[in-house]
Amino acid sequence: MRPRSLIILILILIGVCLLGVVVYNLPPVNARLAWRVEALRDEIKYRLNPPEEAVFVPQQVVDATLPPTAAPSPTPLPPTPTNTDPAATPEPSATPTPPPNPLPPAVALGGGGDVDQAGGGN
């Protein structure tokens, strides 16, 4: 190939790539192809860095991101009160709770109106 035809071929390939990017960014095309591009990108990431070879060790991540600090000392819990005197224990009240008000047979709510769901209401 001559150098001039090689330059023309490279310019045509660059133009086709740019045209593909412009067409992909059109909303109807993007809506139909975005999930496929994302799946292809995930597949490439999986092939380059398979999860079997990556080992997650949380202690190394914590040590690398946080400055070294002293270990926190455990704080003692306050003592729970124990009451062994039966006379000091309050007795439950014997007052019965009143029954709830009965429901009315019918209710009329006013002030309501039609609401336009499309957003072009009055």
Q: How far apart are CA 74 and CA 46, in angstroms?
A: 43
pLDDT attached to residue 11: 95
**Average pLDDT over the chain, rounded to an integer:** 79
Q: How far apart are CA 25 and CA 34, in angstroms?
A: 10
pLDDT for residue 44 is more than 90? yes
Give the distance, in angstroms, between the CA of residue 115 and the centroid of all CA atoms in the same chain: 32
Give the distance, in angstroms, between the CA of residue 25 and the centroid of all CA atoms in the same chain: 26
Average pLDDT over residues 25-40: 92
* pLDDT tens per residue across span 46-65: 888 887 766 677 775 444 55
pLDDT attached to residue 74: 67
